[in-house]
Amino acid sequence: MDLNATVIGQSIAMVVFVWFCMKFIWPPLLAAIEERQEKIAEGLAAAEQGAERLDQARAEAEEIVADARRQATQILDQANARANEIVADGKNEGERERERQLTAAKAEIEQETNRAREELRGQVSAIAVAGAEKILNREIDAKAHDDILGKLAAEI
Amino acid sequence: MASENGYANSGEYITHHLQNLQVCRDDAGEWVFGKCPGEFWALNVDSMFWSILLGLIFLFLFRVVAKKPSASKPGRWQAFVEIIVELVDGAVKETFHGKSKLIAPLALTVFVWVFLMNLMDLVPVDWVPLFSEKVLHLPYMKIVPTTDVNITFGMSLSVFVLIIFYTIKNKGIGGFIAELTLHPIAPPLKGPGIIAAPFIIAFNFILESVALLAKPLSLSLRLFGNLFAGELIFILIAIIGYFQLPLHFGWAVFHVLIITLQAYIFMMLTIVYLSLASEKH
């Protein structure tokens, strides 16, 4: 327990250790810690910036989508209008075609009717002549009574 | 166990375990072990050996990291070292407001070194002394340097020198003398009261000198006392035989607190004294 030269020895040891620590241990360690702190601060700032940019991009994207939606609606409207137009056009065309066909058919029918009537008229006169021949039991000059027969046929 | 190891009684066991391995020159000029009580030019070889060994271990463990510190990818050991460094750095920045390249590394060295020296207290009290006696034929071996008052006093003396150095550096020699003589009672400099000035200055000087000298003394004796008492209790527990195991464990658990706390207190007081020395009033 007595004080002796160990005091001096320990003091010298302490001076040497503290000097070594001051020269070779403390500065690099603190430099590393400070560098990391800086990096962390930078990283946090970058993250914040990134989040901001993300928000911006999101807003931009939303705008673009809204724009696209608007355009799509517009295009759809246009297409609908065009479709309606086409349908209307088609309807009109069909109507006209029908009309045309109808007219043509009517004309043909008229023509056919007239032709059949003419034919029938001829046959009726022949039948009438044959009937009259049978009734009178004698030969009648067809030519002499042609006008009468013609009138008769016209009345049918 | 005292009786089984060839000690006459437990008293001898205790004194043996508290005796440093001292080396000195005897009258014939030969180096002798353990025959130099009260002599100043003796060296406690065991204290010095363990103290320097532990100091080197501290420097090595920290130098490993400091050699190649990685800022982006710290390993486990580096992370651990950095925790300690940041603890010390925080304590220094909180207390010491000036600029000094010395104080933070000094605090780190003091903290880790004292902690390691205190930690030797947890090694069972008989292991190393028995080993050194049977194998190395050294009669004494005290492995906890901080239970040697020389070690703690050597450290606090270095701190004391730094306190005076910083006081003179920051306040000048005049400031240092003024601090010793003009506080706490300001002597009258005018009027008839000036007759009393020398007495007041003398009174201040005595008071302040005691306060100044008490700093290194209390610093070293606090650490020494705590660790010495702890070690003594470990030795006492070791005497009682087989029942020492639970007791030893209990005291060791409690002692972990003392070990850390005393190292921390030594560091904090070093910082506080040095910051007081460099602060201007």
How would DSSP label each residue in A44-80? HHHHHHHHHHHHHHHHHHHHHHHHHHHHHHHHHHHHH
Answer left, alpha or beta for residue B96, where phi above 0 means left and psi between -120 and 50 means alpha: beta
Structure tokens at A88: 């209307």
- Whether residue B1 is predicted with pLDDT greater than 50 in this model: the reply is no
Amino acid present at B182:
L
Categorize the per-residue pLDDT at B253 as very low, low, confident or very high, splitting at 50, 70 and 90. very high
Q: Is B112 exposed, middle or buried (0-12, 13-18, 19+ CB in 10 A)?
A: buried
- Whether residue A109 is predicted with pLDDT greater than 90 in this model: the reply is yes
Question: Which of B22, B47, B150 would best serve as a mutation to test chain A binding (most A beta carbons within 10 A)?
Answer: B150
Residue scoring higher pLDDT (B186 or A45): A45
- Whether residue B80 is predicted with pLDDT greater than 70 in this model: the reply is yes
How far CA B276 is from CA of B167, B180, B185, B260, B264, in Å, comes to 8, 14, 19, 24, 18
Average pLDDT over residues B143-148: 93
Residue B53 and residue B65: Cα distance in Å, rounded? 19
What is the residue-averaged pLDDT of chain B? 88
- Whether residue A86 is predicted with pLDDT greater than 70 in this model: the reply is yes
* Helix extents (H) in B34-102: 45-67, 76-95
Chain B residues touching A9 at Cβ < 8 A:
43, 48, 154
Structure tokens at A48: 């914040």
Structural contact between residues B255 and B230, judged by C-beta atoms closer than 8 angstroms: yes
Residue B48 DSSP SS3? helix
Phi and psi at residue B148, in whole multiples of 5°?
Answer: -105, 120
- Residue B178: predicted pLDDT: 87
Amino acid present at B47:
S
Whole-prediction pTM: 0.76
Q: How many CA atoms lie within 13 A of A68 on its CB side?
A: 6
Q: Where are the domains of chain A?
A: 9-114
Q: Which of B248, B224, B220, B244 is nearest to B157 (CA)?
A: B220
As a whole number of angstroms, the longest Cα–Cα distance in chain A is: 190
Residue A14 and residue B159: Cα distance in Å, rounded? 10
- Residue A78: predicted pLDDT: 96
Residue scoring higher pLDDT (B122 or B40): B122
Chain B residues touching A29 at Cβ < 8 A:
62, 65-66, 69, 81-82, 85
- Whether residue A1 is predicted with pLDDT greater than 80 in this model: the reply is no
Contact status of A14 with chain B (Cβ, < 8 Å) = yes
- Whether residue A137 is predicted with pLDDT greater than 70 in this model: the reply is no
Phi and psi at residue B136, in whole multiples of 5°?
Answer: -95, -10
Residue A28 and residue A22: Cα distance in Å, rounded? 10
Contact status of A4 with chain B (Cβ, < 8 Å) = yes
Q: Output helix, strand, coil percentages for chain A, rounded to the nearest 5.
A: 90, 0, 10
Structural contact between residues B132 and B141, judged by C-beta atoms closer than 8 angstroms: yes
Cα dihedral across residues B2, B8, B9, B15: positive or negative: negative
Angle between helices A6-20 and B149-181 (to 10 degrees): 80
Q: Where are the domains of chain B?
A: 46-139+147-278
Q: Do A1 and B149 touch (CB under 8 A)?
A: yes
How far CA A92 is from CA of A85, B90, B236, in Å, comes to 10, 93, 122
CA angle B10, B16, B20 (to 5 degrees): 155
Categorize the per-residue pLDDT at B3 as very low, low, confident or very high, splitting at 50, 70 and 90. very low
- To the nearest whole angstrom, how far is the Cα of B224 from the nearest Cα of chain A? 11
- Residue A138: predicted pLDDT: 61
Categorize the per-residue pLDDT at B255 as very low, low, confident or very high, splitting at 50, 70 and 90. very high
Residue for token digits 């982006």? Answer: B72
- To the nearest whole angstrom, how far is the Cα of A22 from the nearest Cα of chain B? 5
ipTM for the predicted complex comes to: 0.89
- Residue B23: predicted pLDDT: 86
DSSP state of B3: G
**% of chain B surpassing 90 pLDDT:** 51
User: What size, in residues, is chain B?
Assistant: 281
Residue of B nearest to A14 (CA): B155
Residue for token digits 């005290």? Answer: B142
User: A26-30, B10-14, B114-118, B154-158 — which is least confidently predicted?
Assistant: B10-14
Q: Do B22 and A24 touch (CB under 8 A)?
A: no
Residue A130 and residue B70: Cα distance in Å, rounded? 136
What is the residue-averaged pLDDT of chain A? 90
**% of chain A surpassing 70 pLDDT:** 96
Phi and psi at residue B6, in whole multiples of 5°?
Answer: 85, 20
Residue scoring higher pLDDT (B266 or B195): B266
Categorize the per-residue pLDDT at B168 as very low, low, confident or very high, splitting at 50, 70 and 90. very high
Residue A154 and residue B199: Cα distance in Å, rounded? 175
User: B58-62, B176-180, B269-273 — which is least confidently predicted?
Assistant: B176-180
Average pLDDT over residues B227-250: 89
Question: Which of B18, B53, B108, B156 would best serve as a mutation to test chain A binding (most A beta carbons within 10 A)?
Answer: B108
- Whether residue B2 is predicted with pLDDT greater than 60 in this model: the reply is no
Query: Which residue pairs, CB below 8 angstroms and at least 24 apart, start in A83-87?
Result: none
Categorize the per-residue pLDDT at B134 as very low, low, confident or very high, splitting at 50, 70 and 90. confident
CB atoms within 10 A of CB A18: 22
Chain A residues touching B231 at Cβ < 8 A:
none
Average pLDDT over residues A59-67: 96
Q: Please identify every residue of B annotated as catalytic.
A: 218, 222, 226
Residue scoring higher pLDDT (A140 or B2): A140
Chain B residues touching A36 at Cβ < 8 A:
71-72, 74
Residue B7 and residue B1: Cα distance in Å, rounded? 9
